Structures are given as structure tokens and as C-alpha cells.
Amino acid sequence: MLIKESHADVQTNVDGKETSMRIFVFHPTIPQYPNARFPGIVLFSEIYQVTGPVARFARQIAGQGYIVAAPSSYHDFTGPEALAYDVPGTDQGNEWKVKKTLQSYDEDSYKTVDYLLTLPTCSGRIGATGMCLGGHLALRASLDPRISACVAYFATDVHSRTLGPHSGADTSAQGPENSNHTIDKLGEIRGEVAMIFGIKDTHVPDPGRDLIRQKLRSAGVVFSFYEFAWAQHAFIRDELSKGRYDPAITKVCFEVLLELFGRVLKTDLGPRDGKPEKIEHVC
């Protein structure tokens, strides 16, 4: 499927500050079908904003028949340009990641979904995906009931409650009272979620992944949980991945994404009835 690339600048107003957020748009096109309609996907980037690898990932998804909208997360502090995959870029991205408030992240997500729903070519069904910081943001975006499907790649800071301003990591099962952290609000998710991790990911160690899985299950979320034995953090980044890019596992994970998005966003499932499914115990 062919792709048309563009961008839209959307105004946000949060924390007493009005800024312009650039949304990079990757739109599928079918010759002679100008009124074709597609599901929308919000694609959240890693801490470097919309880099080459993120744009290539967006094109892959768009080529399968989805309108992909990738917001620039750090518009509170800078322009839409990508940060470099080097030490200064990494340090800057990590600094802004915790300086930006959860309210600002939520505003970005809502505004991007709003934008997709204004497009006459959008079917009205919305999914979310992302990697690293973006994996967390995709999961958090799913608190919005308008998002029906989420594929989160190696989502950071979920288990430790360290996204946005914080006083230190908190990996407790219960969490603080009236917590606004993503892991403590999973019961609000109404869509289906796929979580993808590498077992050798030092950013989300075994206890962290176990906590995320436990919290998803106790919250009653419909989810799949994938862990790959030899994958490290950032294993889908095909450029400057510091030796961690694994194309074979990346391919498998993209099939996971296509299955979930295809089943939930391209099929008219109607509302879920909530009735317990009776599974026959057979060999």
C-alpha cells in the first residue's frame, strides 16, 4: 500500500503552558479510492522523539492500512526535531522524560486521538503502539476508552512508577494512595493489550515484568504477554541500537501487532458481552 507523509501542528494547553505539538502523519493511500477509510494508530516514540527508526516503523504499519500519527513528546521543551542517538541526546531525553508531567503526556495522547478522529478517512477505530518511553505511553494512552488495542514494546518506568516528576522508584505491588501512575490505573483499560519484552532488558528486569503482568491480571485487563529469551532493550531499533537490534525477533513482534490490530481494529466485533467464556477441558 502506498503512503503519503505529512504533519499537523496541534495546540496543547496544560500545566499553565500553551505549546504547539507536531504530529507526524503516515497515511495509506489506494489509487482511485479517495474515500477509503482506515483505522488510526497513535505511535509514541522512544526518548529521542520521532527518529529514523520510528518513522520507518510508522511506514511499516501505515503500509498495512492504518493511519499512523506520531506525536513529538517533548514539545513542552523543544521543537519536533529528533534527538541524536548519542550521550548528550540520551541524557537530554531522559531529563525531559521525568520533567514532563503525567498531565502533559495525557494531553498529548488525547489530542492525537482527537486529531485522528477528525480525519474523514479514519474509520473511528483507534489503536496505540510505541517503544521504550513510547511503550509506556501507548499503555497509558489505553486508559482512554477510545483506544481499543495496544501493542507496547519494552515499556519503561511502568513497574517503577518513574514516568514524570517523582521522588524515587516505587516497585511495590500496592502503590501509593490515589496514585496517578499507569500501573495503578490499569483497571481503566477497556481495550486489548499486548506487552512485549526482552528477558535481557536491563531497564525492565524480571521482577518488574512480573509486577506488570500481575497488575494487568488483577485489574482484569485482556492482555497477552510476550518475553523473548535473548532480546535486550531497544531490540527493534534498526539504527544505532548499540548491538541490540534483532531483526528476526522484530519480525515476530510485528506479526503480533498485525494480528491484534487486524482482529480488533479492522473487524467489527461489536461490544464485548462480558460473559464468562466456558473452556472445555479436552486433549
Catalytic center residues? 132, 201, 233
DSSP label of 186: G
Secondary structure class of 194 (helix, strand, coil):
strand
Q: How far is CA 153 from CA 35, 196, 253, in A?
A: 32, 5, 9
C-alpha grid cell, residue 96: 525531559
C-alpha grid cell, residue 13: 494547553
DSSP label of 148: E
Lookup result for grid cell 479436552: 282
Q: Work out the widest C-alpha separation in the chain, in whole angstroms.
A: 61
First to last CA, the chain: 42
The alpha carbon dihedral of 129, 206, 175, 102 has a sign of negative
Secondary structure class of 26 (helix, strand, coil):
strand
DSSP label of 83: P
Rounded CA gap, 101 and 90, in Å?
A: 19
Angle in degrees, CA 119, 124, 125, rounded to 5: 130
